[in-house]
Amino acid sequence: MLPKALQNSPSFQDGKKQCSLPEAFAALTCESLGTHHLSPFMKPLGSNFTNGVNFAIAGSTATPGTTTFSLDVQVDQFIFFKERCNDTIQRGESAPVDERGFQNALYTMDIGHNDINGVLHLPYDEMIRKLPPVIAEIKKAIERLHKSGARKFWIHGTGALGCMPQKLAMPRDDDSDLDEHGCLSTINNVCKKFNTLLSEALDELRLTLKKSTIVFVDMFAIKYDLVANHKKYGIEKPLMTCCGHGGPPYNYDPKESCMTSDKYLCKLGEKFISWDGVHFTDAANGIVASKVLSGEYNIPRVKLASLMNTAKSDD
């Protein structure tokens, strides 16, 4: 799973009930499943891999070459972990996960946002042309995991990045690109195109990876709804950070950290979507988690809990 909202990539959960969503709202998700968080793969001390492993790395990308621990590297780490477990069992020793555990596991991915962030300075047509290679890497990672025995996949699309205060606070000539809810249309259109391509790629994989369950979660629809219908959720300022600098309309200054003493901090009890311009608040993450768990935004419409105790064939 993912330790923070910015951390992207795959995780693996044993067939027992395990959390599988970004940790920013994973506490609520794990609580609903009655389980604990997963240990990071690279944590040197105190790790417990008996029920799953977290391979996420902060700021990672799906495409290789941009970051050290891109998606392909993280899949390599998973394969290495599985091989070490199998080697340990063959020596007659106990391993954190056995072969049946790997077969019954749920494999989750929440990645691609940083790839999109890396092309937002380009003209719109160029941004769109940069998306297929990102999707290809995600598709290839799923195929590699399937070849290694994975059969259940839970894949998140990207959110409404054009509604983030960090993006809205960037200098612009005018407000012509703002939609009816105050979000940047161009960036959100790129996000929606990314999700369309990802969903189509998963449709193709469902045809080729037999006897597998591959779930796409429309995170854009979930997160955009928070802005579009913010009053329904008791949120008064959907595009403003809770912790930042500058005050309304966005309270975001890229030159100033939320941690400085002169920060503008929202009052206790106020509901905000954005904590610091990038990450969601606990209140917003709670809403997102409940929608993710509902299954209403998933293709196919299955609930995460239904995948935690069912095994898939090894065919």
Dihedral of CA atoms 276, 282, 283, 284 in degrees, nearest 10, equals 60
- Say whether pLDDT at 14 is over 60: no
Question: What average pLDDT does the segment 213-232 reach?
Answer: 97
The rounded distance, in Å, linking the Cα atoms of 193 and 70 is 22
The rounded distance, in Å, linking the Cα atoms of 269 and 264 is 15
Residues belonging to the chain? 315
* pLDDT for residue 20: 35
The pLDDT mean for the chain works out to 83
The rounded distance, in Å, linking the Cα atoms of 1 and 22 is 6
| Run of H or E residues at 108 | strand 106-110
Q: For the chain, what are the domain ranges? A: 7-231+281-307
Query: Which pTM was predicted?
Result: 0.85
* pLDDT for residue 84: 80
- Say whether pLDDT at 266 is over 50: yes
* pLDDT for residue 216: 97
* pLDDT for residue 310: 47
The conformational region for residue 179 under phi > 0 = left, psi -120 to 50 = alpha, else beta, is beta
Res. 144 pLDDT band, cuts 50 70 90: very high
Least confident window among 62-66, 169-173, 208-212: 62-66
- Say whether pLDDT at 109 is over 50: yes
